[in-house]
């Protein structure tokens, strides 16, 4: 069972969490005063504008955070995610959406809303964890196609490059992600927010 802390002016989220068997309501938090002791596994925070909270400070808390906001407010969502917050859902999310988001965040994935995704995908580094050596633009393209399951031959055809060049990019991606196989590379990339499925 995942313990969920809530920071919201409304009791709607608390009530939703209490109605979900796989989640446990762990209490409320005042986001304006950084808590010294966190008793939950995931923190849900409501916000109405980008200046509501000190996002970098909140992102440093030892548990993952999901922003509850207007799903069309891309400036707010971008501000939170670029500061290290790993999730954003609508403040009127259904219990099923809350449950899915909490489980995804708790598993180390990134969560956001369909309305915000188009703009956020223009800047994939918003989601990405820092790598010791970042992937190049071409390596990110190769990685996306690896996630689609393309062979080296198809990948080379899609990008109009040689298979040898593909192999070089794949080897570099493996080294930068610390992976030893395509499956492991894609899995690492998803966890680090470099690939979105």
Q: How far apart are CA 57 and CA 152, in angstroms?
A: 43
pTM as predicted: 0.60
Other beta carbons within 10 Å of 44: 27
Query: For residue 113, what are its two tokens?
Result: 């809303």
The predicted pLDDT at position 166 comes to 93
Domain layout of the chain by residue ranges: 2-122, 137-191
Of 93-97, 127-131, 141-145, 167-171, which gets the smallest average pLDDT? 127-131
Instruction: Name the least confident of 38-47, 120-129, 163-172, 188-197.
Output: 120-129
CB 157 within 8 A of CB 166: no
Among 90, 98, 127, smallest CA distance to 110 is for: 127
Higher pLDDT, 87 or 192: 87
Going by pLDDT thresholds of 50, 70 and 90, the confidence category of residue 20 is very high
What Å distances lie between residue 24 and 2, 41, 86, CA to CA? 6, 10, 20
Closest CA to 82 of 128, 136, 114: 128
pLDDT of residue 38: 73
- The predicted-structure confidence for 65-124, as pLDDT tens digits, reads as follows 898 888 777 778 777 777 778 888 888 889 999 999 999 888 888 787 665 655 555 555
Classify 2-122 by CATH class: alpha beta
Produce one character per residue of 147-177: b if its CB has 16 or more CB atoms within 10 Å, e if not.
Answer: beebebeebbeebebeeeebeebbebbbebb
Partner residues linked to 5 by β-bridges:
27, 43
Q: What CATH topology corresponds to 137-191?
A: Arc Repressor Mutant, subunit A (1.10.10)
What average pLDDT does range 43-71 have in this prediction? 80
Tokens representing residue 90 in the block: 């609508």
Residues 156-174: tens digit of each pLDDT: 999 999 999 999 999 999 9
List Cα–Cα distances, 25 to 2, 6, 14, in angstroms.
9, 8, 7
pLDDT recorded at residue 120? 56
């Amino acid at each position: 069972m995942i313990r969920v802390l809530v920071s919201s002016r409304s009791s709607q989220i608390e009530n939703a969490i209490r109605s979900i068997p796989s989640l446990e309501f762990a209490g409320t938090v005042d986001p304006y005063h950084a808590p010294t002791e966190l008793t939950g596994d995931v923190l849900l925070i409501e916000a109405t504008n980008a200046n509501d909270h000190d996002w970098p400070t909140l992102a440093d808390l030892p548990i993952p955070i999901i922003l509850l906001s207007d799903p069309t407010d891309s400036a707010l969502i971008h501000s939170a995610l670029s500061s290290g917050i790993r999730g954003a859902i609508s403040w009127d999310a259904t219990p099923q959406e809350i449950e899915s988001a909490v489980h995804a965040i708790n598993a180390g994935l990134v969560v956001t809303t369909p309305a915000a995704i188009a703009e956020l995908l223009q800047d994939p580094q918003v989601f990405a964890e820092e790598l010791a050596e970042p992937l190049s633009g071409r390596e990110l393209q190769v990685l996306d196609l690896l996630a689609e399951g393309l062979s080296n031959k198809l990948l080379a055809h899609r990008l109009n490059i040689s298979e040898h060049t593909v192999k070089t990019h794949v080897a570099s991606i493996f080294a930068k992600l610390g992976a030893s196989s395509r499956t492991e590379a894609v899995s690492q990339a998803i966890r680090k927010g470099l690939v979105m499925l």
